[in-house]
Amino acid sequence: MAGIQSQSALVAENLCKNFGALAATQNVNLRVEGKGVHALIGPNGAGKTTLVNLLSGALPPSSGRVLLSGQDVSRVDMPGRVARGLSRTYQITSIYPEWTVWRNLALSVQGRSGTSMRFWQPVTGERALYRQAAEIAEEVGLTSRLNAPASDLSHGERKQLDVALALASNPKFLLMDEPMAGLGHEESVRMVDLIRRIAGIRAVLLIEHDMDAVFSLANEVSVLVYGQIIASGTPEAIKNDPEVQRAYLGDDHAA
Amino acid sequence: MKRLLPFLLLALGLALPFILTAMGQEYYISFASRVLVVALAASALNLILGYGGLVSFGHAAYFGAGAYTAALLAGKGAGLPAQLLVGTGVAALLAFVFGWAALRTRGVYFIMITLALAQMLYYLAVSSDSLGGEDGLRISRAALWGDLTLGDDRAMYYTALTALTLGLFVIWRVVHSRFGEVVQAARDNETRTAALGYPVRRYQLVNFVIGGALAGLAGVLMTQISGFTNPSLLSWQQSGQFMMMVILGGVGTFWAGLLGTAVLLGLEEYLGEVTERWPLFVGLILLGVMLFAPKGLGSLGTLFGRKKKEVVE
Amino acid sequence: MPLDLILEQLLNGVQFSLMLFLLAAGLTLIFGVMDLINLAHGSLYMIGAYLTATFAPHVGFFPAVVLAILGTMLIGGLLEVTIIRRLYARTHLTQVLSTFALMLIANEVVRMIWGAQPIALSAPESLSQPVQLPGFKYSAYRLFIIAAGLGVGAGLYYLVNKTRVGMWLRAGASNREMTRAMGVKIGPLYTLIFALGAGLCALAGALLGPLLSVQVGMGENILILAFVVVVIGGIGSIKGAFIGSLLVGILDTAGRAFLPTWLTALFNPQLAGSFGPALASIAIYVLMAAVLFFKPRGLFPARGTG
Ligand SMILES: Nc1ncnc2c1ncn2[C@@H]1O[C@H](COP(=O)(O)OP(=O)(O)OP(=O)(O)O)[C@@H](O)[C@H]1O
Ligand SMILES: [Mg+2]
């Protein structure tokens, strides 16, 4: 299976995860590659976050494999997968609330620029770290908030920071777990914009409930219901897939 | 002011023996040495507990390991440099082994396994003849130069002051380095730190070893102050006391170890002179602080202000 | 080694295990249900022993035990209502240090009331003669402790597995939110559990008092053992506490009794003489480290993973 095309792809192979009797992920096969957005949609509790946890290494799978650029990374931990170019954001924003935005980002930049097993030089002396952190803040639109403690950010700004943290490791693959959840209209528009720019140079697996955003961003859409992928294809094909409409889109999309 | 504080404290530290002598209170020079040495061990715990967020309930193990190593070496005629070097090294090695085992677990289990591992060492010391059993080991004070030994109160004091100053300097550099940044990040949000690509446990283990090594250094000096070691240095009550000091001083703030140690030992010393029942009052005060100012004495000011979330989980 | 000696040590191990279980059972429930690390648990054990020793000369041993249990439960309940309950929502660190402070206070109060010297508590007259077991004589009092321990263990098993309160306990230990959702009044339930734990401590203290010595700080070493038991068994699991107690109690007793002899047989006596006791006393910690290495959440984790 691991042919030439899979050289730069994130692949799930027969992935399963059980929580006790609950099969949260059932035989999922998925392929995220190249550039652009691969959207993953599905109703609440379908197992989307669980799948992200499996792909990113936060959870071990019950069975099946995860391949990253052709290599089996099923037994590689989360930091190991980050080092291989895979990064993620969190549905429930996960930041360092007591730190300033700048320090949050510098920590993240530090991860990709040389070893952090340096014990003696004060980190605040490393201009380059903070400059790159500021560049990322610029990219996500947080420049004016650089010196604010992250706990002072609005919900939307936290979402932006969460994305920025993941971006700082300069990943080839980015898993985004509902980056627009709870955003206001204007913030959503900005986030869609940001995702489009991010996806211009890397592969994004986007989990999102906002169908307009999904269909405007995605090259490919997969539908997850009860832990199973019931359909996969172009946005057009998915929109018109009768099974998807029955199982999921239905009224939701009509509304 | 904040930048000057270390230098003011150092100046005060350097002048203290003279001040005490002028006041006719020379007895307290030796007490002050004890405060400095214990403060070093407490600051080391603050690195692990305050900055690293790891509730290690076995800090006495590394302190005691340094002390016992020094005492064994002293018995073989080794000098102070060898005692300091080997004592610190043994404590670091021990911290590596214990830390490695304990870091497989989290939360309550981590607290309990660090405690149990330290207890293991305690019983080893109590029941082993070569470690002197319940009585521990006596040593003769190490020579500095000429006739001067650490038996001299002032020589001991300045040695302790040097050690604490160097130890705090190391801690300061570590905390503010790239490494320190990762360690604190892991404390505040472990999952995210792993998701940013940091192998969290590795950082925590290295931090644990640094803390253990510094505690070992303090332990070596402790034997020189008291002239002996005994199992109580390894006891869990000693570990509890270190934790008390760190919390009293304000867990995760730079001066926590020094402040907490000065306050707690000072309190014990003072109450000990006033009443035989001093442990009762120490207990009551500690309980009061824990219930009403769990972030340490420094937070007493904000007691009636905004209620903040506790940082260490 | 003669068989009867082995049997005798084994019985001693079981006897100690069961007392350890009394402490560990309370500790694991308090740990599991209220998520509280209680270092003052050993103080309640000490108080139980002191109360028994105080009442025994006046009312006789067995009534004294009952009085001590009631008294300690009362003290435990009061402690829970006034102080402990403020600690549930706090961090483990705060809990450890607060209860550490409580322990210091308890030691000092006991010293104030009863003095610093150990006080006498002897086994009841009726159980002072050894009994003839097949092959050897064994202390009647120790046999009584074994019986009492088994009885209380069975009672606890019934309470936890067959009664409504027990259902709440099990629910609480595996899922706190669930207990709330079931509409159980948390406050009184917690007080009850804490008092129950105190009563079990008192019983252990009362029964072990005549074998060990009743003195200030007597609860501290056994407290650590009880923690080891709880961690080995899995936090919140009564069954785990029972198995853990047996493992720890028997290993500890047998280790002390046999290891030096075995070592002497294997190595030279001098080496065995200096390492035997040391090895025996650390055996249980090695066991704990080994258990946590393979099962980081103990043998019978009560709470689901995650
Ligand atoms: N650690 C866990 N332990 C037990 N069950 C879990 C765990 N994580 C998730 N689940 C269960 O697995 C199922 C899938 O959860 P998941 O969070 O992956 O859904 P989701 O698709 O992300 O939902 P949402 O749209 O609400 O974010 C749910 O029934 C959830 O309760
Ligand atoms: Mg989700």
CATH of the domain at C87: 1.10.3470
Residue C29 burial (C-beta neighbours within 10 Å; 0-12, 13-18, 19+): buried
Closest-CA residue of A relative to B185 is A96
Q: What's chain C's average pLDDT? A: 87
Q: Please give the residue range of the domain that contains residue C46.
A: 13-294
From the CA of A43, how far away is ligand 1's center (Å)? 11
Answer yes or no: do C227 and B287 touch at CB < 8 A.
no
CB A104 near ligand 1, within 6 Å: no
Please give the average per-residue pLDDT across C70-75, as a whole number. Answer: 97
Which of these ranges, B267-271, C260-264, C269-273, C278-282, has the smallest mean pLDDT?
A: C269-273
Give the pLDDT confidence of A157-207 residue by residue, as tens digits: 999 999 999 998 889 999 999 999 888 888 899 999 999 999 998 999 999
Sign (positive/negative) of CA torsion A94, A96, A97, A100?
negative
Residue type, A167: L
Residue A8's CB: how many other CB atoms inside 10 A? 14
Which atom of ligand 1 sits closest to the CA of residue A50?
Answer: 18
Between C253 and A98, name the one with better pLDDT: A98
Answer whether residue C52 shows pLDDT above 50: yes
Contacts of C92 in chain B (CB under 8 A): 55, 107-108, 111, 313
Give the pLDDT confidence of B194-210 residue by residue, as tens digits: 999 999 999 999 999 99
Give the pLDDT confidence of C158-201 residue by residue, as tens digits: 888 888 878 877 777 666 666 666 666 778 888 999 999 999 99
Is A9-85+171-253 a domain of CATH 3.40.50.300? yes
Between C206 and C127, name the one with better pLDDT: C206
Q: Residue B302: its pLDDT value, please?
A: 45
Q: Please tell me the distance from the alpha carbon of residue C200 to that of residue C69, in angstroms, as a whole number.
A: 8
Number of domains in chain B: 1
Q: Please tell me the distance from the alpha carbon of residue B139 to that of residue B67, in angstroms, as a whole number.
A: 11
Please give the average per-residue pLDDT across C48-53, as a whole number. Answer: 96
CB contacts under 8 A, C 35-94 vs B, are 37, 39, 83, 86, 90-94
CB nearest to A116's CB, from B182, B210, B311: B182
Q: Please tell me the distance from the alpha carbon of residue C229 to that of residue C247, in angstroms, as a whole number.
A: 8
Answer yes or no: do C101 and B251 touch at CB < 8 A.
no
Answer whether residue C305 shows pLDDT above 60: no
Three-class secondary structure of residue A121 per DSSP: coil
Answer whether residue A90 shows pLDDT above 90: yes
What is the DSSP code string of B76-108? TT--HHHHHHHHHHHHHHHHHHHHHHHTTS-HH
Q: Please give the residue range of the domain that contains residue B194.
A: 26-235
Q: Residue C178: its pLDDT value, please?
A: 66
Between B249 and A243, name the one with better pLDDT: B249
Residue type, B204: Q
Q: Residue B308: its pLDDT value, please?
A: 39
Q: Give the single-character DSSP code of A6.
A: G
Q: Give the pair of three-digit tokens for residue A107.
A: 């920590």
The answer to whether position B308 is within a domain reads no
Answer yes or no: do C108 and B279 touch at CB < 8 A.
yes
Q: Please tell me the distance from the alpha carbon of residue B295 to that of residue B208, in angstroms, as a whole number.
A: 22
Instruction: Provide ipTM, 2 decimals.
Output: 0.90
From the CA of A91, how far away is ligand 2's center (Å)? 6
Three-class secondary structure of residue A7 per DSSP: helix
Give helix C186-208 / helix C218-233 axis angle, nearest 10°: 120
pLDDT band with cut points at 50, 70 and 90 for residue B299: low
Q: Please tell me the distance from the alpha carbon of residue B98 to that of residue B59, in angstroms, as a whole number.
A: 11
Please give the average per-residue pLDDT across A34-48, as a whole number. Answer: 90
Q: What is the dihedral of CA A57, A59, A63, A68, to 10 degrees?
A: -10
Q: Residue A144: its pLDDT value, please?
A: 93
Domain ranges, ordered by start, for chain A: 9-85+171-253, 97-157
Please give the average per-residue pLDDT across C32-38, as a whole number. Answer: 88
The answer to whether position C306 is within a domain reads no
Number of domains in chain C: 1
The answer to whether position B133 is within a domain reads yes
The answer to whether position C3 is within a domain reads no
Contacts of A94 in chain B (CB under 8 A): 189, 191-192, 195
The answer to whether position C281 is within a domain reads yes
The protein residues having their C-beta less than 5 angstroms from ligand 2 (an ion) are A 48-49, 91
pLDDT band with cut points at 50, 70 and 90 for residue C23: very high
Chains in contact with A, where contact requires at least 3 CB pairs less than 8 Å apart: B
Contacts of B57 in chain C (CB under 8 A): 96
Q: Residue B301: its pLDDT value, please?
A: 47
The region, left, alpha or beta by phi > 0 then psi within -120 to 50, assigned to residue C51 is alpha
Apex CA C163: angle with CA C162 and CA C165, to 5°? 140
Q: Residue A1: its pLDDT value, please?
A: 44
